[in-house]
A and B are shown apart, each in its own frame.
Chain A
Amino acid sequence: MPQNEYIERWEKLHGKRLDHDERTRKRAAREAHNSSKSAQKLHGLRAKLHAQARYKQKIQLRKTLKSHEEKSVKTTTAPTSDPLPPYLLDRTQPSSAKALSSAIKQKRAEKAAKFSVPLPKVRGISEEEMFKVIKTGKKTAKKSWKRMITKPTFVGPDFTRRPVKYERFIRPMGLRYKKANVTHPELGVTVQLPILSVKKNPQSPMYTQLGVLTKGTIIEVNVSELGMVTTGGKVVWGRWAQITNNCENDGCVNAVLLV
């Protein structure tokens, strides 16, 4: 037994003082008075230390009060997410792609949504801006019938160039894109998806045919990665998206999925 524990030893031998409980109670009751007294009297460093200790005490006090209050409050039973059957309640839902499909279908049901697109109006692009006249060679220069497309394009994987003599439109290799960064508007997730085709270029049907990617163009993207499902229970493969940026300035194709 350590030497300094003489009080404990005494208590073990003789028991506590008969008025022990009363003394401790009184001391505890006096505690507030003592601290108040010292708070008023102290100055200098001791006052600082006292204030600091008191400050910490109060933080602790408020925290416990708050936790007690929280305990007594009835927890709300309405969860925030969509209703789920009991067998899915404790599971973390891979909310990514499937969550959309329902929203997509609901939107579909509203007929109006079918024809509205995120970008309803686009800036007109003149032929001069779109095409550069090629003047190489004697005959070509003279008749100037050959054009190079100055905007980004999508060229299908099975495209083969025609003989140079007959090739009226040149789609430069450097401006070809195969992938688009497609955002799902409701989920707010962006995924890079392969482009399948150009569905509609609002500028002109000829640009649609040439696969020109300008702002507002409707493209079809391969969404099979997202795992959406049709009403018939088949995996959705292609879905339409609208280009939202000026690809020729940005060097990438950003699009928003049409739902």
Chain B
Amino acid sequence: MATLLPPKSKRIKLEEQKKTAEQAEFAQIPSDLPDILIQFRASDTGENDRTPIKVPGGTTVKQLELLLNELLGNSDDPLPYTFSVAKNSVETNLANVLDITDDIYSSILKPGHKTTEDLLTVLYTPQAVFRVRPVSRCSSAITGHEQAILAVAFSPRNSSRMVTGGGDNTARIYDCETETPVKTLKGHTGWVLCVSYSPDGKYIATGSYDRTVRLWDAGTGSALGDAMKGHSAFVTGIVWEPYHLWSGEDAPRFASASKDCTVRVWDAKLRRVEMTMSGHTASVTCVRWGGNGFIYSGSQDKTIKVWDGKDGKLLHTLKAHAHWVNHLALSTDHVLRTGYFDHTGKVPASDADKRRIARERYEKAATIGGKVVERLVSASDDFTMYLWEPSRDTKPITRLLGHQKLVNHVTFSPDGRLIASASFDNHVKLWDARTGAFIASLRGHVAAVYQCAFSPDSRLLVSSSKDTTLKVWDVRTRKLHTDLPGHQDEVFAVDWSPDGMRVGSGGKDKAVRLWRH
């Protein structure tokens, strides 16, 4: 009697299927595929780099990467790149390109987008050398706040510390390694509306509905002095002076924006108002401190004002919006927030080194075409955004049209190449930060999107919404990567840690959630 082999398990069958499919794909590249002419073009400067090169039609992304690193002369320190082919040779808009996913033949030639006769203009975009793993699960929901959570911020050092501000008049520090609360920062008598770590990670500043600002020691969580009074209405935003501009090691300054139409600059050491910038005629909604020393403030009086951070003089008034300015973002926001902390996790020994590294990081992030230019994007209630270059011109570079309701939040990717905007029309939109051209609309939320945050490697984007979910978007494919349900109610605040390990979010359901890979 012959023995019958038991039927193969499903897993084995699937594996076999996959293997044969892969092999078939390899075999699909025809052997008589002719060589094709390609021309590299940098996607951020739009300049053609080299004379056309002849490469085999089946060249893979890895091979293109090798070739390009060799051509650009950084073969000893190679960078990862993504490649895409422009639909026509003059086109530089990232919306009209075809991505090369694995090799040229299967993504360009086989679908018939281009023939082997054409000269392919290959746009290359450098990627971060490190890779952030996408968050996919809620590692913990930490209760503690007795009211809704209104603000979340990670420490610039790494993802181990996080601070949240809540409607129960407290801010809380969490240890994200053990996912436990560390300290409750009590003192405010109104909702804590904004929290912010200093770029060296030593201080926390909180602004509240009770019209005061408080400073805390980030390490121990103890209060540094009493409430700092000055504003006559609630505080809407706080931003620290960029680290490389600090005058002494321990003499940081920060700016706070308030409903009382002023921006105040505080000295954290002396704990007093250094400057008061009044000039807006309505509530100041957002304040940013640029790496060149300018302070930008957006207001409900439809203007953006640029102030000198040294003496508080009004430098420019940027007028273009037709309604409230809701939010501002700088192309260097990420590096200014993280100061001298980079993805390697090394901390320079001396203060001079710290300052030098912070400056180098800033200059690297702000350099476009050999010049240090900081760009500003403003989101408004008039459903549009404007892209500015305040150091050069008081006229906007371009207007970003497309949203159908007010734009609530806008952010630059850490590499400064993309802009993401969150709007009440349920969409997140991606824009090219260089030209302001529309790239893609990320659909998926079923209610207003409140905030969004890029991962530090700029490959992923997380958005928080009124529909109680967070969604992770893949920037390259412009598709939903992961849906993160879990919150019981609206998610007001979301932040991606500077080392990319964790995402923290908080909202109306009073629980802080930490999300991990």
Question: In the assembly, what is the distance between CA of A142 and CA of B409, in Å?
Answer: 77
Is A102 a contact of B190 with CB atoms below 8 Å? no
Residue from the list B148, B468, B508 in contact with A230, Cβ < 8 A: B468
A137 within 8 Å of B (CB atoms): no
Please measure, in the bound complex, the distance between the C-alpha atom of A134 and the C-alpha atom of B5, giving whole angstroms.
70
Q: How far is the CB of B55 from chain A (nearest CB, A)?
A: 45
Q: B189 in the interface, Cβ–Cβ < 8 Å?
A: yes
| A86: contacting residue among B166, B237, B485, CB under 8 A | B237
* Nearest Cβ on chain B to A14's Cβ, whole angstroms: 47
Contact A82 B466 (CB under 8 A): no
Chain A 212-231 interface mask (CB, 8 Å, partner B; 1/0): 00000000000000010111
Query: Which residues of B line the A interface, CB within 8 A?
Result: 147-148, 150-151, 166-168, 189-191, 193-194, 209-211, 234, 236-237, 259, 283, 285, 300, 326-327, 408-409, 445-447, 450, 465-469, 483, 485-490, 492-493, 508-509
Q: Is the CB of B190 within 8 A of A232?
A: no
A85 proximal to B (CB < 8 A): yes
**What's the Cα separation between A79 and B147 when bound, in Å?**
13
In this assembly, does A53 line the interface, its C-beta being within 8 Å of a C-beta of chain B? no
Q: With A and B bound together, what is the CA distance between A105 and B509 in angstroms?
A: 9
Q: Looking across the interface, which residue of chain B has its beta carbon closest to that of A233?
A: B469
Instruction: Kindly identify, within residues 45 to 85 of chain A, every residue whose CB is under 8 Å from any CB belonging to chain B.
Output: 77-79, 82-85
B326 near A82 (CB under 8 angstroms)?
Answer: no
- In the complex, the chain B residue whose C-beta lies closest to that of A98 is B466
Q: Are A85 and B493 in contact (CB under 8 A)?
A: yes
Give the complex CA separation of A106 and B508 in angstroms: 11
Identify the closest chain B residue to A232 (Cβ).
Answer: B485
- Residue A235 CB within 8 A of the other chain: yes
**Majority secondary structure, B binding face:** loop
Question: Given the known A-B contacts A102-B488, A102-B509, A233-B483, are A82 and B211 also in contact in the complex, defined by CB atoms under 8 Å?
Answer: no
Which A residues touch B211, using CB under 8 A?
77
Query: Within the assembled complex, what's the spacing in Å between the Cα atoms of A110 and B237?
Result: 37
- The residue in B148, B259, B467, B486 that gathers the most chain A C-beta atoms within 10 A of its C-beta is B467
Partner among A83, A101, A105, A232 whose Cβ is within 8 Å of the Cβ of B191: A83
A-B contacts, 29 of them at CB < 8 A, read: A77-B189, A77-B210, A77-B211, A77-B234, A79-B209, A82-B147, A82-B148, A83-B191, A85-B150, A86-B150, A86-B194, A86-B237, A88-B492, A89-B236, A90-B259, A98-B447, A98-B466, A102-B508, A105-B488, A229-B466, A231-B468, A231-B488, A232-B469, A233-B445, A233-B446, A233-B469, A233-B483, A233-B485, A234-B446
Interface check A6, CB cutoff 8 A: no
A234 to B509, CA, bound (A): 17
Q: Contact at B485–A231, with CB atoms within 8 Å?
A: yes
Chain A interface size band reads 20 to 34
CB distance B468 to A229 under 8 Å? yes
Q: Is A87 on the interface with B (CB-CB < 8 A)?
A: yes
Q: Is the Cβ of A77 less than 8 Å from the Cβ of B167?
A: no
The closest CB in chain B to the CB of A235 belongs to B446
Contact B446 A229 (CB under 8 A): yes
B194 CB contacts on chain A under 8 angstroms:
86
How far is the CB of B406 from the nearest CB of chain A, in Å?
9
A84-B492, A85-B150, A85-B493 given; name 20 further pairs at CB < 8 Å.
A77-B190, A77-B209, A77-B210, A78-B189, A78-B190, A82-B147, A82-B508, A84-B148, A86-B193, A86-B234, A86-B237, A90-B300, A101-B489, A102-B488, A102-B508, A227-B447, A229-B447, A233-B445, A233-B469, A234-B446
Please, which residue of chain A has its CB at the minimum distance from the CB of B471? Answer: A233
For the complex, what is the distance from the CA of A84 to the CA of B492, rounded to whole Å?
8
Q: For B485, what are the chain A residues with a Cβ–Cβ distance below 8 Å?
A: 231-233
CB of B446 within 8 A of CB of A85, answer: no
Contacts A229-B468, A230-B468 known; A87 to B486 CB distance under 8 Å?
Answer: no
User: Which chain A residues lie closer than 8 Å to B450 at the CB level?
Assistant: 85, 87
> Which residues from chain B contact A79 at a C-beta distance below 8 Å?
209
Complex interface: chain A residues within 8 A of B285 (CB): 86-87
Q: Looking at the assembled complex, report how far the CB atom of B467 sits from the nearest CB atom of chain A, in whole angstroms.
A: 4
Most buried by B among A78, A83, A87: A83
Task: Report chain B residues within 8 Å CB of A234.
Answer: 446
Task: Kindly identify, within residues 87 to 146 of chain A, every residue whose CB is under 8 Å from any CB belonging to chain B.
Answer: 87-90, 98, 101-102, 105-106
Is there contact, CB below 8 Å, between B151 and A85?
yes
Q: Which of B150, B168, B283, B487 contacts A84, CB < 8 Å?
A: B150
From the candidates B148, B189, B409, B466, name the one contacting A83 in the complex (CB within 8 A).
B148
Residue contact A231 to B486, C-beta cutoff 8 Å: yes
A87: B residues at CB distance < 8 A: 285, 326-327, 408-409, 450
Question: Smallest CB-CB separation from B484: which chain A residue?
Answer: A233
A36 and B326 CA atoms in complex are apart in Å by: 61
What CA separation (Å) do A88 and B381 show in the bound complex?
A: 12
| Chain B residues closer than 8 Å to A227, beta-carbon distance | 447
B116 to chain A, nearest CB (A): 46
B468 is contacted by which of A77, A82, A86, A233 (Cβ under 8 Å)? A233
Chain B hits for A86, CB < 8 A: 150, 193-194, 234, 236-237, 285
Taking a contact as CB atoms under 8 Å apart, the answer to whether B166 and A83 are in contact is yes
Nearest 4 CB-CB pairs, A to B? A83-B167, A233-B469, A86-B236, A233-B467
B228 to chain A, nearest CB (A): 15
Q: How far is the CB of B148 from chain A (nearest CB, A)?
A: 4
Q: Which residue of B lies closest to A108 (CB)?
A: B488
| Chain B: minimal CB distance from A69 (Å) | 19
A171 to B385, CA, bound (A): 59
CA distance A82 to B492 in the complex (A): 13
A residues less than 8 Å from B237 (CB atoms): 86
Taking CB atoms, residues of chain A closer than 8 Å to B508 are 82, 102
- Cα A230 to Cα B447 in complex, Å, equals 11
CA distance in complex: A148, B283 (Å): 67
Per the bound structure, the CA–CA distance linking A78 and B245 in Å amounts to 37
Task: Give bound CA distance, A88 to B190, whole Å.
Answer: 16
Question: Would you give the shortest CB distance from B437 to chain A, in whole angstroms?
Answer: 26
Q: Is the CB of B234 within 8 A of A105?
A: no
B508, closest chain A residue (CB): A102
- Report the bound CA distance from A87 to B191 in whole Å: 13
Closest-by-CB residue of A relative to B469 is A233
> How many whole Å from A203's CB to the nearest CB in chain B?
36
Q: How far apart sit A180 and B48, CA to CA, in the bound complex (Å)?
A: 67
CB-nearest residue of chain B to A90 = B283
B465 / chain A contacts, CB cutoff of 8 Å: 233
Chain B residues with Cβ below 8 Å from A231 are 468, 485-488
Residues of chain A contacted by B193 (CB below 8 angstroms):
85-86, 89
State in angstroms the CA–CA spacing of A228 and B147 once bound together: 21
Q: Which one, A77, A90, A105, A235, contacts B489 given CB within 8 A?
A: A105
Of A82, A89, A106, A233, which contacts B234 at CB under 8 A?
A89
B166 neighbours in A (Cβ, 8 Å)? 83
* Bound Cα distance from A151 to B446, whole angstroms: 40
- Give the CA-CA distance A227 to B108 in the complex, in Å: 43
Q: Complex Cα distance A84/B150, Å?
A: 6
Residues of B with C-beta under 8 A to A78: 189-190
C-alpha spacing A84/B446, complex, angstroms? 20
A214-259 at interface with B (beta carbon < 8 Å): 227, 229-235
